[in-house]
Amino acid sequence: MASEETFMRAPAPSPKRTIYTEAMEIFHYAADLIGLDKRVRLELEEPDYEHIFYVTAKLKDRLVPLLPEEAKSFSDLSVTQVRNTEGLERLANGNIILNGRALLGSDVAIRHGHLRLPDGLVYQLVPGESQRFKAYRVQHNQARGPYKGGLRYHREVSLDLFKALAAEMTWKTAIAEVPFGGGKGGIQMDPREYGREEIEAITLRFMYRLKSLIGPNIDIPAPDVGTNPEIMALLYRQFSDGERERHNLRGIVTGKDVRIGGSEGRGKATGQGVAFCIEDYYADRGESVKGKTFVLQGFGNVGSHAAIILGNMGARLLAVNDADGSIFNGDGIDVNALAAYVADPKNLKRSVIGFPGAQRIEKKDLWDVQADILVPAALGGEITADIAERLKVKLIAEGANGPTTPEADRVLQKRGIELIPDIIANAGGVTVSYYEWIQNKRMERWSEAEVDQRLERAMKRNYRIIRDISRNQPRKTEMHDSRPYCIGKPVDSRCAAMILALKRIEAHYLLEGFSQ
Ligand code: NAD
């Protein structure tokens, strides 16, 4: 046996508090509680690999609107009649990308590089230049299988954030009992500021650099904030371009369009998983989701699907916000109408703001709305201790990754607000990603009903094990067996979820040994 001294930490942990150290607090707490094997702890407390690289792409010419003050000196500039308006791509920030031959063949009136469009605004013509973007892929752990985790395109990303999110994936894949490890990555950029062809160029270049680091049996990305099935298709194309057996490489990414090897039910899977957990939470108490009210933060992939499914189960959405603001309707928001409003191509920001079926409220007032359930489905670190003190809900089901700070967790516990932690609540996405990967490997296609049925069983079985660990209620039922995981005393639900993850990962190291 190795002595205590063998297990020196290298490098010594930084005393600085970061997103990563904060996210790992629960890991260390649970590891202490279960006496996690020291070598396993060393393997898990830092990622296996942290890749940072740069992606350079040529941007297109764009029209940037002038402020009214600046436009005054062009008051006599005549209007440019654009013949091929499809060549003009309007972005959420007001800029217009010039695609193809947008201005060729038009009657263009340009003065000092400025022109006026039929919308009355004066635009400066900015020639496209090359731009460099910072890109990341963190591979946290692969004891249980290939690295697995999403790609995020967002302005506020960092190595520290991706380390935290990659570690979360290691815990989540263990909890969901899918044979993967954890990874995460992405690009520092706001995708709403770039045109379709620019995003394509950036994405292809990203995969060109990623290709030597990943593979269908090595590391498998998926969509996350700011990415979607179209981006997954581009990544697949770039990875498999020129390869002899392209069709065998479909499993390089999950979250693809169903027409090119994506799984039925993947688009809604994370929101569906959140809803299954909430349903099981109430079933355990002899209650139903029907008639419950909920508040939602974020109306993207996870938030919108969770809202639609909870709505179909009979719950009422009272308030929702996104990056642009909050809306409220005490009688309940028509979720399907809201989803259609957000998806409308005319809604450039894809925002809930302006939806006619609700009134606008201050963004921060979302937290004061009284409801049964809160589903955070936006970014991490949103529920701080102050907000936790204000909340008027009884249950929080974490659709987002890491939405609650450790201080807020303590406040929620003190206030008796119940929690379905992220690593189980939003595990539906990676679970169906696994189904997609399996279907790609076997060249099969499962029906939506089959996927939903498997997902429901997987989510509820593992959530029940976590509940039993939390209550210290070891038992074996037809659906689940919590006996190997309970620790002889009750713990809070976030800790219970982490215990399940750590015990499952530890088993791999203890039975298979450590690679040398
Ligand atoms: P998305 O890009 O589709 O949507 C994000 C939503 O959050 C948008 O409505 C956006 O406007 C909103 N938002 C952004 N900043 C905000 C702010 N400051 N305040 C309020 N709202 C804000 O992303 P998504 O895929 O739905 O992911 C949402 C969360 O769920 C993330 O934390 C992600 O890591 C997590 N998650 C996603 C999946 C998945 O399958 N997509 C799986 C597991 C976890």
DSSP 442-453: HT----HHHHHH
- Rounded Cα distance between 69 and 63, Å, is 17
Side chain identity at residue 398, one-letter code: E
| Cα 3 to middle of ligand 1, angstroms | 45
Question: What is residue 12's predicted lDDT score, i.e. its pLDDT?
Answer: 57
* Domains in the chain, CATH or no CATH each: 47-57+132-261 (3.40.50.10860), 60-128 (no CATH), 268-426 (3.40.50.720)
Q: For residue 299, report the distance from its CA to the centre of ligand 1, in Å.
A: 7
* Whether residue 224 has its Cβ less than 6 Å from ligand 1: yes
Helices (H), 391-447: 406-415, 422-425, 428-442
Distance 198 CA to ligand 1 centre (A): 22
| Continuous segment of H or E residues that includes residue 297 | strand 293-297
Pairing type for strands 418-420 and 395-397 reads parallel
Which SS3 state, helix, strand or coil, does residue 375 take? strand
Q: What is the dihedral of CA 25, 26, 30, 33, to 10 degrees?
A: 60
Best mutation site among 171, 172, 224, 374 for ligand 1 pocket (most ligand atoms within 8 Å of CB): 224
Which pLDDT tens digit goes with each residue over 286-318?
999 999 999 999 999 999 999 999 999 999 999
- Ligand 1 centre to CA of 398 (Å) is 11
**Rounded Cα gap, residues 123 and 298, in angstroms:** 32
Rounded-to-integer distance, Cα 179 and Cα 148, Å:
10
What's the pLDDT at 10?
Answer: 53
Question: How distant is the alpha carbon of residue 484 from its chain centre?
Answer: 31
Cα atoms found within 13 Å of the Cα of residue 55, Cβ hemisphere only: 27
Cβ–ligand 1 distance for 225 under 6 Å, the answer yes
With a 6 A CB cut-off, is 421 part of the ligand 1 pocket? no
**C-alpha–C-alpha distance, residues 109 and 384, integer Å:** 53
Residues annotated catalytic, as ranges: 184
In the DSSP assignment, the letter for residue 177 is T
Which residues of the chain register pLDDT less than 50?
Answer: 1-3
Q: Whose CA is nearest to atom 4 of ligand 1?
A: 300
The residue to mutate among 302, 305, 432, having the most atoms of ligand 1 within 8 angstroms of its beta carbon, is 302
Q: What is the whole-number distance in angstroms between the Cα of residue 17 and the centre of ligand 1?
A: 24
Whether 399 is in the pocket of ligand 1, judged by its Cβ within 6 Å, is: yes
The identity of residue 103, as a single letter, is: L
Q: How far apart are CA 457 and CA 453, in angstroms?
A: 6
In short, whether 161's Cβ falls inside 6 Å of ligand 1 is: no
Question: How far apart are alpha carbons 184 and 178 in whole angstroms?
Answer: 16
Tell me which of 138, 192, 301 to substitute to probe ligand 1's pocket, judged by most ligand atoms within 8 Å of the beta carbon: 301
| CA distance linking residue 22 with residue 16, whole number of Å | 10
CA 280 – CA 275 distance, rounded (Å): 9
Q: Whose CA is nearest to atom 17 of ligand 1?
A: 323
Q: Rounded to the nearest whole angstrom, what is the distance from the C-alpha of residue 377 to the centroid of ligand 1?
A: 5
> DSSP label at 383?
B
Confirm or reject: Cβ of 301 under 6 Å from ligand 1.
yes
Instruction: List the structure tokens of 262.
Output: 């994506």
Structure tokens at 44: 């898990």
Distance between CA atoms of residues 147 and 144, nearest Å: 9
Ligand 1 centroid – CA 379 distance (Å): 6
| Ligand 1 contact via 426 beta carbon (within 6 Å) | yes
Cβ pair 267, 305 in contact under 8 A = yes
Q: What is the model's pLDDT at position 13?
A: 57
In ligand 1, the atom with minimum distance to the C-alpha of 433 is: 40
How far is the C-alpha of 423 from the C-alpha of 413, rounded, in Å?
18
Among protein residues, the one with the nearest Cα to ligand 1's atom 41 is 224
Instruction: Give the DSSP letter of residue 262.
Output: P
Crossing angle for the helix pair 38-45 and 19-34, nearest 10 degrees?
A: 170
Q: What is the DSSP letter of 404?
A: B
Query: Dihedral, CA atoms, 455, 460, 461, 467, nearest 10 degrees?
Result: 150
- Beta carbon of 423 within 6 Å of any ligand 1 atom: no
pLDDT of 2 reads: 46
- Going from the Cα of 223 to the center of ligand 1, the distance in angstroms, rounded, reads 11
Helix spans in 241-298 (H): 269-284
339 to each of 64, 306, 437, how far by Cα in Å?
30, 11, 28
CB atoms within 10 A of CB 20: 22
Amino acid at 477: T
265 lines ligand 1 (CB under 6 A): no
**Residues 113/124, Cβ–Cβ less than 8 Å:** yes
Distances (CA, A) of 182 to 3, 146, 273, 358, 504: 30, 8, 19, 40, 14
pLDDT of 104: 80
Predicted pLDDT of residue 393: 98
Are the C-beta atoms of 399 and 306 separated by less than 8 Å?
yes
For residue 224, give the nearest of 148, 277, 278, 160 by alpha carbon: 148
Q: Counting atoms of ligand 1 from 1, which one is nearest the CA of 426?
A: 43
Q: Distance between CA atoms of 374 and 395, rounded to whole angstroms? A: 6
The verdict on the CB of residue 226 being under 6 Å from ligand 1 is: yes
Alpha carbon 450 to its chain's center = 24
Atom 40 of ligand 1, residue of closest alpha carbon: 429
Residue 401 near ligand 1, beta carbon < 6 Å: yes
Burial class (CB in 10 A: 0-12, 13-18, 19+), 198: buried
Report CA(172)–ligand 1 centroid distance (Å). 17
Pair of tokens at residue 3: 């002595």
Residue in 199, 232, 348, 379 to alter for ligand 1 test, most ligand atoms within 8 A of Cβ: 379
Cβ of residue 378 lying under 6 Å from some atom of ligand 1:
yes
CA distance 266 to 146: 19
- Dig out the tokens for 165 from the structure: 């999110």
Whether 229 lines ligand 1, by a CB cut-off of 6 Å, is no
**Comparing C-alpha atoms, which of 362, 313, 458, 379 is closest to residue 164?**
379
Are 238 and 262 in contact by the 8 Å Cβ rule? The answer is: no
pLDDT at 82: 85
pLDDT at 134: 98
Centre of ligand 1 from the C-alpha of residue 229, in Å: 15
Pair of tokens at residue 425:
């609540």
Per-residue pLDDT, 185: 98
Q: Are 375 and 316 in contact (CB under 8 A)?
A: no
Strands (E), 24-129: 49-58, 62-65, 88-90, 96-98, 114-116, 122-126
Does the C-beta of 145 come closer than 6 Å to ligand 1?
A: no
